[in-house]
């Protein structure tokens, strides 16, 4: 999700500041032409996501192995979620990156199906070695005597992070269509998507049928993703950003206070209800506010990112952020296992000094283990050369369905023991295989109809 000047949009006279930055030519140094503002947001989001996966669960060793609870079940814990729920920002960044990438590819004459296939390969292939490691290790450790509940907690959390990739398959497939819609209709596209989210919520809460809410996986996340398109077009000027920040906060608070919504903004570690699973209009409003605030701070963020130290940090870390996201549950599970089963320590009472110390020390240990692991794992993320070529529209849509469905299965089942994770992994691998160009059919006398053979005699 890196935005480069090479793929900058063309056309408008005197483009606004946002578009100007996307047009800056590379000047021979590493990272030149990248939108540092988007890089900083990615770093912030991934850092907070990884940190909350350590801070929010409560771990208690017992006779059954391990009991996992949540800090958010304590009084006032939901307030934390309004600060740590930053996933809308990563969809915003993804929208800007996808827009630039698609414009560059289509400008070179690349078909939409080919572009989607390339994105699917980059998105799904890193999951394969991750899932193989977790599934094999989970079976081996359970057979070796490790409590199945403890192993299920770690493998379930490892699968939980894949929900983002499952949804991202959807936004990748929709990018060519919604990019064209943005060109023609501008802000009306985002408004239509968020209106759809409101309609879904009315149906869900009005009828009591929770299943209706899952339609908002499309409306909410595509709506926030569309804000990235608006940013890429230079359409989010300062007045828009102010309106988004103020209006988004007001709408989110009003809906959460007087509406039928949960006060919790994240679904981490199985709380009974949240505004994420399924997504709601409250999450859309919060995401809009976050984007508005971020754009208002853009100049200051860019000034910080332009310094030599931060620039080097972004150059080194940003290419590995998705690797850290996918793999951080491995060191997290190791740390938790050592503390709970090796040292007999449980998570202290939340919101106490001991809990803060537990969280801080665990975060330091997690960082120390995640960085070298990411350096090794990043080598596994390059799709093999056999996955190449133009598969065509039908094959790429089938591939997206298999990859997205497989990732969803792995999200729900986890990367542990049993047949279901294996089926999920098989679906992902099958989808990846479909992103290849179809093999040409060999023509031989044996396969040509007899009447055609006779013509050449």
Q: Given this model, what pLDDT does residue 129 score?
A: 95
Name the pLDDT band for 97 (thresholds 50, 70, 90): very high
Contact 400, 431 (CB under 8 A): yes
C-alpha angle 309-366-354 in degrees, rounded to nearest 5? 110
Domain map of the chain by residue range?
5-25+32-436
The model's pTM is 0.86
Using only C-alpha atoms, what is the Rg of the chain?
24
Contact 95, 176 (CB under 8 A): no
At 414-443, the pLDDT tens digits run 999 999 999 999 999 999 999 998 877 654
Q: What is the dihedral of CA 248, 254, 257, 261, to 10 degrees?
A: -60
At 365-382, the pLDDT tens digits run 998 998 889 888 988 888
Contact 208, 201 (CB under 8 A): no
At 185-211, the pLDDT tens digits run 999 999 999 999 999 999 999 999 999
């Amino acid at each position: 999700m890196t935005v480069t000047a090479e793929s900058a949009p063309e056309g408008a006279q005197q483009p606004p500041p946002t578009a100007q930055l996307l047009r800056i030519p590379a000047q021979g140094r590493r990272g030149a032409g990248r939108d540092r503002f988007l890089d900083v947001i990615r770093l912030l989001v991934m850092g907070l996501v990884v940190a909350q996966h350590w801070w929010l669960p409560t771990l208690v060793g017992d006779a059954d192995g391990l009991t996992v609870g949540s800090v958010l079940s304590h009084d006032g814990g939901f307030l934390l979620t309004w600060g740590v729920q930053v996933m809308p920002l990563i969809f915003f960044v993804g929208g800007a990156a996808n827009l630039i990438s698609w414009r560059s590819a289509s400008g070179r004459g690349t078909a939409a199906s080919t572009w989607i296939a390339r994105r699917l390969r980059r998105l799904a292939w890193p999951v394969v070695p991750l899932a193989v490691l977790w599934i094999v290790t989970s079976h081996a450790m359970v057979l070796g005597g490790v409590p199945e509940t403890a192993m299920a907690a770690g493998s379930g959390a490892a699968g939980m992070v894949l929900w983002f990739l499952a949804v991202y398959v959807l936004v990748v497939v929709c990018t060519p269509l919604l990019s064209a819609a943005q060109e023609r209709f501008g802000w009306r596209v985002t408004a239509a998507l968020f209106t759809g989210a409101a309609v879904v919520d009315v149906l869900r809460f009005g009828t009591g049928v929770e299943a209706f809410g899952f339609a908002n996986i499309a409306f909410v996340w595509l709506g926030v993703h569309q804000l990235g398109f608006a940013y890429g077009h230079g359409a989010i000027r300062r007045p828009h950003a102010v309106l988004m920040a103020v209006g988004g906060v007001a709408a989110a608070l009003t809906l959460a206070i007087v509406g039928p919504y949960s006060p919790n903004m994240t679904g981490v570690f199985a709380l009974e209800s949240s505004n994420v699973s399924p997504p709601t209009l409250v999450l859309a409003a919060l995401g809009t506010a976050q984007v508005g605030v971020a754009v208002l701070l853009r100049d200051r963020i860019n000034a910080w990112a332009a310094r030599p130290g931060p620039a080097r940090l972004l150059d080194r870390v940003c290419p590995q952020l998705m690797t850290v996201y996918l793999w951080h549950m491995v060191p997290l599970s190791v740390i938790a296992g050592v503390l709970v089963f090796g040292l007999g320590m449980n998570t202290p009472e939340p919101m106490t000094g001991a809990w803060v110390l537990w969280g801080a020390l665990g975060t330091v240990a997690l960082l120390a283990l995640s960085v070298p692991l990411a350096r090794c794992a990043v080598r596994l993320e390059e799709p093999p050369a056999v996955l190449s070529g133009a598969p065509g529209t039908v094959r790429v849509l089938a591939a997206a369905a298999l990859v997205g469905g497989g990732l969803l299965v792995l999200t729900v089942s986890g990367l542990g023991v049993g047949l279901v994770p294996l089926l999920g992994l098989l679906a992902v691998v099958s989808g990846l295989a479909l992103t290849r160009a179809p093999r040409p059919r060999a023509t031989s006398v044996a396969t040509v109809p007899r009447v055609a053979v006779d013509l050449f005699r």
